[in-house]
Structure 1
Amino acid sequence: MKRNTFEEICYQLNKCNCTCKSNKITCVREVLDDKIKKDHNEFLKIKAEARASDINGFTKIMLSYCAILIAIISVFIGTIEGNDPASLIEKGIMLLIAVVFVIHCIRETIKWSFTRTWREYVIVVLEEMEKDEDYFKKD
């Protein structure tokens, strides 16, 4: 999945980890200034993406998918009768599918968790930029 501009900003901030700046707000402001370049349309795009980016909702959806899959596989495993080798192989394959899907869900959630770290900082700085009437004036 391709990152949008907001996610790219968060990824860049996460890679930097603010080792070069005194605080996170200063770091976010510099990255946003560099990305926006006083372009009001770019500013609005990033602001909309930041508001729409809800990693907690994404995590809840992924967990719901995992729960549904595990429930379905549990039903299938429960319908397979017997302990013969073919039945055990079918149960093992279904269990393997469930484990692979759960691992995939966890990896996806972790992969996008850096946006959770930086989202509030980005939104605060964007709100401050919006309050500054001189920010978007052309030089």
Structure 2
Amino acid sequence: MKIKNNNNGLSILITILLLSIMLVIAIGSTSILNKSLRSSNISGRSTVAYLAAESGAEKVLWFAANDPTFEDNFSACSAGQYIDIHDASNFQCGEYSHLIDAGNPDYYYKIYYTRSGIYHIYESVGYYFGVRRNIEIKYSK
């Protein structure tokens, strides 16, 4: 009597199993790569938002050093409020988006002013496509 090896379809089953495992690995790798790319994009935007905040901080420091009446304009804002330093002849309290690039409304900074005792405290908030970064300046005259 002959012993029959009835292995019909076993090779197809093993092939399907191996291909399924390779597909799961490929999908997992794609997911990890996608998250990494998103994180890299946010990191780049964060750097640009920081540069916008840095621009605002530099402008505040320039006005503070070169205009002796700079802080006097914001005496009403001492409780803490956004300020408008867009027009050097007309500093005032109020929220204003200082555009870095006139063609890009998603790239700007805002300046927040408060006073604590003898200290003038400015917070420059930079924005770039929904990402926000802050720089705080604190000094006394």
Q: Which has the higher strand share?
A: 2
Q: Which has the higher contact order (CA 8 A, sep 6+)?
A: 1
Common fold, TM-score beyond 0.5?
A: no
TM-score by length of structure 2 reads: 0.32
The structure with the larger Rg is 2
TM-score by length of structure 1 reads: 0.32
Q: Which has the higher helix share?
A: 1
